[in-house]
């Protein structure tokens, strides 16, 4: 098993294109920064270092100060950390719910499928941001509420993908062969269906992760997401908006972070899908 | 100028791997097609026949590249043309009819719209002219109501009709060269000869040259003037049809001829090894079908007996219900009425109610070896699972037994570590068979297991089935549309049509005259490896008024 993983990793390395390498590098750096934020950040998150707002870089302030005179560079680490942790939790939760229900619907079919599919249709008909706004206004914008709400909305999209994949795989002869052998539900799910859905699901996970980042950042930017004194990237943009009036780049750095991570993930997913599309391995070049 | 429509000289095509290594897939091919003649490319899959025919269009599949040679179309080298030049040629001077018309038509557009597309986008004809020409071609191809059939959508016509419609599409610009890539392989025997006759008339009347790609020598013998035999991308033999099939020079050609789907001169009754009267399985008055209100019946009051260690052949055209019968017996489908008895004890209708032992004793092997094996499992897991599931075997026992099973089906035990994609079609079908054998069954339902394989490979699988039966005393229900295969392997035969068994009995009785009308039609439709056979059959059909089910 281990040798197989090592082998496939080695193969993947061989197939890396320059763009994919760059994207992978950026994603690794960002994840590393998020994990090690308390060790890497030169200052504490809320520490006010100077009385000057929107100061230019220099004097130990690598990217200058923010609107309260805090170190923007340090705050970026913490903001990134919060954004990544929250988005990742959202994506994982959405997958757990969406995939389970999606595959269940595909395998069981019939009334269960009908019921849950129509329910999802109804939910998808609502604009995602509006649904989020309603729930958050009702329950208050705490991080658990945000995570559960966005994960719930996202899980409907994951459900559709998982169900479509499942329906395709369930009718394959190898699943039928297992069924006629007398295999139970668990085996069919874990050994026959899931392994064959992994590639598109992994790609979908990347996409869902970026959507979660964009969604939570947008909510924070609107003031409905993460609340100060906690700050994610969206909050960092919002609170430093006036900086633009003073001619500094302050709010652009967190924006750049969001762009870098979402674009990198997207391009990497593209590469991954193309690599695993057996029909056209040559299109990579 | 040679006066030929196309001259292929020393054509070589390479496959290019990811890291740039080149593997030759077609080497040094030379042949020419004179005006109004038909040249057949024949060989197993992987012999390069489709690669060569696509090369005539100046096209290679992704991952392949031309290495050398010339393809002279009326004196111009197609390979020297740029992409635009090649596109001018395609569809106008040379056109291509693919194997699966069903997969080649867009199901959302009407047939006429697709058939008349090329002359319209090339500004060769107005829409009205194109539609008129299409209708004329439909008539030539013996399609019913040629004036209106074009208004239908692809799913509203039969497979054989769709294949002819695709030929009409190819003929729209009156091409100099028509390439037919296995155009009848996916069709039933009875439909196949009608389509074949239509193609033959079309080529004859329009004085079009054609390249006919097939793996079936008997089919090719009906339509081709010359035959080029291919193996592993190289030319084996090239000559007039009559010469190739009567006095072949090469061993490989002889092998192909031996493996051709031809009815044996005399159907020998296999001696049944089963003890007389030891009933293994009885199907009693089973009806089954689809739809909540039982709208579509696929089986109507079908009864069938299988004795221990014998082979029962079930034959019929597609849609005759033979696969449904297999599914009902295996429990994949619940019958509307009737019952299935295993050694006199009724089997539960649905899978969930059958005991593990009942499930174990009846195994099924599917037609498409490719999709019957989970692509993410290694062979050891594929074969090991039934051992663990039915016998609770531990790891070491599984390892040992998997090796034995692989040897039993004629594969190296080292294959246990491979994934299905690392196996050839024939090897996959052997693994499939080994998975069924792993359960140590009394009965194996073989659903068209040789249909997707090349003749030579299919031959080997049939031999394997026979030798396994001798050793393991397992009974088979052998479902196939290929009568010549059934004639060779079955002890008894049941002929199905529209969900009913129209004739049943010992193989020799059923397949030798006097026959039931429908059996007669099926039998007469098996191509004979003789030039001129097609004309004889069509004449017979006209006289007796027989018609295939598709029309």
Task: Kindly state the average pLDDT of the residues A10-35.
Answer: 87
Comparing CA positions, the residue from B165, B2, B123, B5 lying closest to residue B73 is B5
Task: Count how many domains chain B has.
Answer: 2
Residue of B nearest to A180 (CA): B332
CA dist B36 and B53 (Å) reads 17
Residue of B nearest to A282 (CA): B63
According to the model, what pLDDT value does residue B549 have?
42
Residue of B nearest to A171 (CA): B371
Confidence at B250, pLDDT banded by 50, 70, 90: confident
Confidence at B43, pLDDT banded by 50, 70, 90: confident
Q: Would you call B351 and A191 a contact, using CB atoms and an 8 Å cutoff?
A: no
Any domain includes B312: yes
Q: Looking up tokens 């498409």, which residue turns up? A: B368
Give B-chain residues touching A180 at CB under 8 angstroms. 330-332, 351, 359, 363-364
Least confident stretch, B43-57, B254-268, B473-487: B254-268
A181, burial (CB in 10 Å: exposed 0-12, middle 13-18, buried 19+): buried
Say if residue A278's pLDDT is above 60. no
Domain spans, chain A: 37-284
Confidence at B149, pLDDT banded by 50, 70, 90: confident
Highest mean pLDDT among B279-283, B482-486, B525-529: B279-283
Any domain includes B244: yes
Q: Is B319 on the interface with A (CB under 8 A)?
A: no
CA dist A268 and A263 (Å) reads 8
Which of A16, A108, A168, A181 is the best mutation test for B, with the most CBs of B within 10 A?
Answer: A181
In the 3-class helix/strand/coil scheme, how is B123-174 assigned residue by residue? CCCCHHHHHHHHHHHHHHCCCCCCCCHHHCCHHHCCHHHHHHHHHHHHHCCC
The residues near A117 (Cβ < 8 Å, ≥ 6 apart) are A105, A163
Sheet strand arrangement including B6-16: B22-33, B6-16, B64-73, B76-77
Say if residue A94's pLDDT is above 90. yes
Q: Are B490 and B450 in the same domain?
A: yes
Any domain includes B272: no
Any domain includes B114: yes
Confidence at B264, pLDDT banded by 50, 70, 90: low
Q: Is A282 on the interface with B (CB under 8 A)?
A: yes
Residues in chain B: 551
pLDDT tens per residue, range B414-454: 888 888 888 887 888 899 999 999 999 999 999 888 877 77
Question: Across the interface, which of B62, B366, B375 has its CB nearest the CB of A177?
Answer: B366
Token duo for residue A100: 């389970």
Comparing CA positions, the residue from B165, B51, B187 lying closest to residue B113 is B165
Q: Is B378 on the interface with A (CB under 8 A)?
A: no
Give B-chain residues touching A182 at CB under 8 angstroms. 351, 354, 356, 359, 389
Q: Are B58 and B107 in the same domain?
A: yes
User: What sections of chain A are H helices per DSSP?
Assistant: 2-15, 18-35, 37-40, 72-108, 110-125, 128-139, 143-170, 173-181, 185-187, 194-221, 233-239, 252-276
Q: Is B385 on the interface with A (CB under 8 A)?
A: yes
According to the model, what pLDDT value does residue B263 have?
67
Averaged pLDDT score across all residues of chain B: 84
Q: Is A121 on the interface with B (CB under 8 A)?
A: no
Which of A178, A180, A278 is the best mutation test for B, with the most CBs of B within 10 A?
Answer: A180
Q: Greater confidence, B525 or B340?
A: B340
Domain with B346, as residue range(s), is: 279-374+441-526
Q: Would you call A173 and B375 a contact, using CB atoms and an 8 Å cutoff?
A: no
Sheet strand arrangement including B209-214: B94-97, B177-181, B209-214, B38-42, B226-231, B234-240
Give B-chain residues touching A172 at CB under 8 angstroms. 371
The fraction of chain A above a pLDDT of 70, given in percent, is: 96
Give A-chain residues touching B390 at CB under 8 angstroms. 181
Q: Are B232 and B320 in the same domain?
A: no
Give A-chain residues touching B20 at CB under 8 angstroms. none
According to the model, what pLDDT value does residue A285 have?
33
According to the model, what pLDDT value does residue A2 have?
67
Which of B374, B377, B390, B436 is the best mutation test for A, with the most CBs of A within 10 A?
Answer: B374
Give, in degrees to the nearest 5, the angle at Cα B439 between B436 and B445.
Answer: 40
Q: Greater confidence, B50 or B294?
A: B50
Say if residue B324's pLDDT is above 90. no
Task: Kindly state the average pLDDT of the residues B118-144.
Answer: 87
Give A-chain residues touching B331 at CB under 8 angstroms. 180
Q: Looking up tokens 């239908």, which residue turns up? A: B152
Question: Across the interface, which of B18, B332, B386 has its CB nearest the CB of A281?
Answer: B18
Q: Would you call A195 and B376 a contact, using CB atoms and an 8 Å cutoff?
A: yes
Q: Would you call B371 and A173 a contact, using CB atoms and an 8 Å cutoff?
A: yes
DSSP notation for A3-25? HHHHHHHHHHHHH--HHHHHHHH
Say if residue B529's pLDDT is above 80. no
Helix A173-181 × helix B379-391 angle, to 10°: 20
Q: Is B40 on the interface with A (CB under 8 A)?
A: no
Distance from CA of B475 to the nearest CA of A (A): 18
The B residues from 396 to 455 touching A (CB cutoff 8 Å) are: 435, 439
Q: Are B491 and B448 in the same domain?
A: yes
According to the model, what pLDDT value does residue B314 have?
92
Q: Where are the beta strands (DSSP E) in B155-260?
A: 177-181, 209-214, 226-231, 234-240
Q: What is the dihedral of CA B402, B406, B407, B408, to 10 degrees?
A: 100
Q: Is A168 on the interface with B (CB under 8 A)?
A: no
Q: How many CB atoms lie within 10 A of CB A249?
A: 17
According to the model, what pLDDT value does residue B420 have?
86
In the 3-class helix/strand/coil scheme, how is B388-417 assigned residue by residue? HHHHCCCHHHHHHHHHHHHHHCCCCHHHHH
Q: Greater confidence, B164 or B262?
A: B164
Distance from CA of A281 to the nearest CA of B (A): 7
Distance from CA of A17 to the nearest CA of B (A): 12
Task: Kindly state the average pLDDT of the residues B356-372.
Answer: 86
According to the model, what pLDDT value does residue A281 have?
38
According to the model, what pLDDT value does residue A40 have?
82
Q: Would you call B359 and A192 a contact, using CB atoms and an 8 Å cutoff?
A: no
Say if residue B550's pLDDT is above 50. no
Question: Across the interface, which of A192, A196, A280 has its CB nearest the CB of B62?
Answer: A280
Give A-chain residues touching B330 at CB under 8 angstroms. 180
Contact B416, B378 (CB under 8 A): yes
Q: Are B54 and B156 in the same domain?
A: yes
Contact B312, B490 (CB under 8 A): yes
Residue of B nearest to A173 (CA): B372
Any domain includes B430: no
Q: Greater confidence, A53 or B458?
A: B458
Confidence at B270, pLDDT banded by 50, 70, 90: low
Q: Would you call A180 and B331 a contact, using CB atoms and an 8 Å cutoff?
A: yes
pLDDT tens per residue, range A195-234: 888 888 988 999 999 999 999 999 889 888 888 778 888 8
Confidence at A22, pLDDT banded by 50, 70, 90: very high
Contacts across the A-B interface (CB distance below 8 Å): 62
According to the model, what pLDDT value does residue A90 have?
94
Contact B367, B453 (CB under 8 A): no
Confidence at A155, pLDDT banded by 50, 70, 90: very high
According to the model, what pLDDT value does residue A282 have?
38
According to the model, what pLDDT value does residue B478 have?
93
CATH for B513: 3.40.50.300
Question: Across the interface, which of A176, A191, A282 has its CB nearest the CB of B63?
Answer: A282
Q: Would you call B18 and A180 a contact, using CB atoms and an 8 Å cutoff?
A: no
According to the model, what pLDDT value does residue B262 have?
66
Q: Is A173 on the interface with B (CB under 8 A)?
A: yes
Q: Is B392 on the interface with A (CB under 8 A)?
A: no
Confidence at B402, pLDDT banded by 50, 70, 90: very high
Say if residue A279's pLDDT is above 60. no
Which of B64, B347, B376 is the best mutation test for A, with the most CBs of A within 10 A?
Answer: B376
Task: Kindly state the average pLDDT of the residues B46-72.
Answer: 85
Q: Would you call A174 and B385 a contact, using CB atoms and an 8 Å cutoff?
A: no
Any domain includes B240: yes
Q: Is A3 on the interface with B (CB under 8 A)?
A: no
Q: Are B295 and B360 in the same domain?
A: yes
Token duo for residue B217: 């020598």
Contact B270, B490 (CB under 8 A): yes
Residue of A nearest to B353 (CA): A182
Confidence at A284, pLDDT banded by 50, 70, 90: very low
Question: Across the interface, which of B351, B354, B372 has its CB nearest the CB of A173?
Answer: B372
Which of the following CATH numbers is that of domain A37-284: 2.20.25.10, 3.40.50.720, 3.40.50.1980, 1.10.3720.10?
1.10.3720.10
Averaged pLDDT score across all residues of chain A: 85
Task: Kindly state the average pLDDT of the residues B158-180.
Answer: 86
The fraction of chain B above a pLDDT of 70, given in percent, is: 95
Any domain includes B540: no
Token duo for residue B267: 């159907």
Q: Would you call B389 and A182 a contact, using CB atoms and an 8 Å cutoff?
A: yes
Any domain includes B365: yes
Distance from CA of B327 to the nearest CA of A (A): 9
């Amino acid at each position: 098993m281990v040798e197989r993983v090592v082998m496939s990793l080695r193969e993947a390395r061989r197939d890396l294109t320059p763009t994919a390498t760059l994207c992978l590098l950026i994603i690794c750096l960002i994840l590393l920064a998020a994990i090690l934020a308390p060790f890497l950040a030169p200052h504490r998150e809320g520490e006010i270092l100077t009385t000057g707002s929107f100061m230019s870089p220099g004097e130990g302030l690598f990217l200058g100060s923010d609107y309260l005179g805090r170190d923007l560079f340090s705050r970026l680490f913490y903001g990134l950390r919060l954004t990544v942790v929250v988005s990742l939790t959202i994506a994982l939760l959405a997958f757990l719910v969406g995939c389970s229900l999606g595959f269940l619907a595909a395998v069981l079919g019939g009334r269960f499928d009908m019921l849950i599919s129509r329910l999802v249709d109804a939910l998808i008909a609502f604009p995602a941001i509006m649904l989020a706004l309603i729930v958050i206004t009702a329950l208050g914008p705490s991080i658990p509420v945000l995570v559960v709400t966005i994960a719930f909305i996202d899980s409907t999209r994951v459900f559709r993908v998982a169900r479509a994949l499942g329906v395709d795989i369930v009718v394959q002869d190898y699943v039928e062969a297992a069924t006629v052998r007398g295999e139970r539900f668990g085996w069919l799910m874990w050994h026959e269906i899931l392994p064959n859905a992994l590639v598109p699901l992994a790609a979908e996970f990347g996409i869902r992760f970026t959507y979660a980042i964009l969604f939570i950042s947008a909510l924070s930017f609107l003031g409905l997401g993460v609340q100060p004194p906690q700050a994610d990237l969206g909050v960092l943009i919002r609170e430093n908006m006036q900086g633009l009036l003073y001619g500094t780049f302050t709010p652009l750095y967190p924006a750049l972070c969001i762009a870098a991570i979402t674009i990198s993930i997207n391009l990497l997913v593209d590469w991954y899908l193309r690599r695993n599309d057996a029909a056209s391995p040559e299109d990579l070049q | 100028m040679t006066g030929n429509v196309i001259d292929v000289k020393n054509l070589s095509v390479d496959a290019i791997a990811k890291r740039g290594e080149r593997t030759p897939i077609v080497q040094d091919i030379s042949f020419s097609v004179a005006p109004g003649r038909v040249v057949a490319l024949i060989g197993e899959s992987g012999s390069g026949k489709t690669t060569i025919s696509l090369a005539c269009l100046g096209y290679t599949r992704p991952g392949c590249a031309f290495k050398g040679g010339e393809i002279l179309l009326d004196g111009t080298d197609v390979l020297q043309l740029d992409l635009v030049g090649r596109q001018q040629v395609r569809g106008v001077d040379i056109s291509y009819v693919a194997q699966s018309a069903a997969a080649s038509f867009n199901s959302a557009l009407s047939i006429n719209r697709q058939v008349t597309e090329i002359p319209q986008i090339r500004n060769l004809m107005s829409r009205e002219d194109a539609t008129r020409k299409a209708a004329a071609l439909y008539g030539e191809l013996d399609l019913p109501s040629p004036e209106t059939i074009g208004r239908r959508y692809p799913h509203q016509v039969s497979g054989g009709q769709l294949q002819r419609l695709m030929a009409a599409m190819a003929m729209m610009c009156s091409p100099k060269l028509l390439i037919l890539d296995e155009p009848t392989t996916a069709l039933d025997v009875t439909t196949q000869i009608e389509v074949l006759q239509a193609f033959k008339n079309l080529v004859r009347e329009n004085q079009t040259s054609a390249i006919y790609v097939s793996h079936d020598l008997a089919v090719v013998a009906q339509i081709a003037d010359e035959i080029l035999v291919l193996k592993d991308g190289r030319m084996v033999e090239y000559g007039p049809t009559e010469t190739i099939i009567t006095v072949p020079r090469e061993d490989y050609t002889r092998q192909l001829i031996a493996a051709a789907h031809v009815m044996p001169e005399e159907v020998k009754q296999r001696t049944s090894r089963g003890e007389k009267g030891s009933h293994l399985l009885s199907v009693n008055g089973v009806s089954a079908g689809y739809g909540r209100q039982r709208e579509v019946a696929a089986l109507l009051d079908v009864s069938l007996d299988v004795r221990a260690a014998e082979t029962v052949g079930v034959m019929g055209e597609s849609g005759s219900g033979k696969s449904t019968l297999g599914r009902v017996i295996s429990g994949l489908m619940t019958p509307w009425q009737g019952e299935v008895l295993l050694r006199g004890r009724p089997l539960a209708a649905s899978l969930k109610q059958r005991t593990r032992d009942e499930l174990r004793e009846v195994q099924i092997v599917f037609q498409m070896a490719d999709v019957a094996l989970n692509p993410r499992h290694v062979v050891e897991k594929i074969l090991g699972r039934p051992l663990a599931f039915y016998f609770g075997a531990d790891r070491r026992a599984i390892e040992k037994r998997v090796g034995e099973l692989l040897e039993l089906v004629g594969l190296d035990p080292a294959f246990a570590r491979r994934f299905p994609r690392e196996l050839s079609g024939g090897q996959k079908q052997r693994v499939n068979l080994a998975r069924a054998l792993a359960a140590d069954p009394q009965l194996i339902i073989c659903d068209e297991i040789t249909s997707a394989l090349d003749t030579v490979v299919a031959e080997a699988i049939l031999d394997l089935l026979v030798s396994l039966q001798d050793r393991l005393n397992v009974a088979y229900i052998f479902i196939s549309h290929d009568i010549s295969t059934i004639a060779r392997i079955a002890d008894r035969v049941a002929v199905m049509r529209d969900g009913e068994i129209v004739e049943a009995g010992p193989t020799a009785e059923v397949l030798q005259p006097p026959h039931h009308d429908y059996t007669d039609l099926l039998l007469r439709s098996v191509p004979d490896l003789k030039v001129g056979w097609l004309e004889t059959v069509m004449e017979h059909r006209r006289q007796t008024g027989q018609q295939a089910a598709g029309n």
